[in-house]
Amino acid sequence: MPPGWRRWSLWLLLAALVLAMLAILVYLAGRYEASQVQSRLERDTAEALGDIRSGLARNIQSLQALQASRPSAANWTEAAADLLREHREFMRIEWRDPNLRVLASADTPYRVALFSLNGRESAQTDVGLACATARRFSGPAYSTSYFVPRADGLGLEVIELCIPQMTAGHVSSYLVATYALQEILSDLISKQVARSQEISFTEADGTRLALHGAARRGTRMFTAQQLLDLPGNTLVLRLDSWHSAPSLFPDVMSALVTVLSIGLVTVLLMLARDTRRRLAAEHDLADALAFRKAMEDSLVTGLRARDLQGRITYVNPAFCQMVGFGADELLGQSNPAPYWPPELAGEYEQRQAIRLAGNMPPREGFESVFMRKDGTLFPVLVIEAPLINAQGVQTGWMSAFLDMSEQRRIEELSRASQDRLQATARLATVGEMASLLSHELNQPLAAISSYATGSLNLLRHGGASADLGMALGRIAEQAERAGKVIKSVHDFVRRREHVREAVSVRSLLDAIMPLVTLQARKLGVRVLIELEPGLPEVLCDRTMVEQVLLNLARNGMQSMDRPDLRERVLRIEARHLGAGEQGGWLELRVGDQGPGISAEIADRLFTPFFTTKPEGMGLGLSLCRTVIEQHGGKLGFEAGHPGGTIFNFTLPLQKNSPG
pLDDT tier at 125 (50, 70, 90 boundaries)? confident
Radius of gyration of the chain (CA): 54
Give me the pLDDT at residue 612, please.
Answer: 64
Q: What is the average per-residue pLDDT within 575-588?
A: 73
Distance of CA 88 to the CA centre of its chain: 59
Angle at 648 between CA 646 and CA 650, to 5 degrees: 170
Is the model's pLDDT at 614 over the cut of 90? no
CA gap 430, 436 in Å, rounded: 10
b/e burial code for range 195-210 (CB count within 10 A of at least 16 → b):
ebbbbbbbeeeeeebb
Beta-bridged to residue 161, according to DSSP, are 142, 177
Taking only the tens place, the pLDDT of each residue in 282-312 is 888 888 887 777 777 666 778 888 887 778 8
Written out in words, the top-level CATH class of the domain with range 498-659 is: alpha beta
Task: Identify whether 336 is preceded by a cis peptide bond (ω within 30 of 0).
Answer: yes
Q: For residue 492, what are the CA distances in angstroms to 486, 495, 543, 629?
A: 10, 5, 12, 12
**Cβ-contact 333, 352 below 8 angstroms:** no
How many CB atoms are closer than 10 A to CB 302?
22
Is the model's pLDDT at 544 over the cut of 50? yes
Task: Decide: helix, strand or coil at residue 60.
Answer: helix
Superfamily of domain 299-403: PAS domain (3.30.450.20)
Select the more confidently predicted residue: 425 or 389.
389
pLDDT tier at 429 (50, 70, 90 boundaries)? very low
Residue from 148, 102, 144 nearest 126 by CA: 144
Structural domain spans, the chain: 46-243, 299-403, 414-497, 498-659
Range scoring the smallest mean pLDDT among 126-140, 225-239, 344-358, 453-467 = 453-467
- Intrachain domains 46-243 and 299-403 with the same fold: yes
Fold for the domain defined by 414-497: Helix Hairpins (1.10.287)
Q: What is the average per-residue pLDDT within 463-474?
A: 67
Residue from 179, 117, 116 nearest 146 by CA: 179
CA gap 381, 362 in Å, rounded: 12
CA gap 591, 568 in Å, rounded: 11
Is the model's pLDDT at 359 over the cut of 70? no
Query: Is CATH 3.30.450.20 correct for 46-243?
Result: yes
Quote the strand ranges of 73-169, DSSP E.
90-96, 102-107, 141-142, 146-149, 155-167
Q: pTM of the full predicted structure?
A: 0.38
Secondary structure element (H or E) that encloses residue 384, with its range: strand 377-388
CA gap 140, 175 in Å, rounded: 9
Secondary structure element (H or E) that encloses residue 272, with its range: helix 252-298
Pairing of strands 569-577, 526-531: parallel
**Cβ-contact 66, 175 below 8 angstroms:** yes
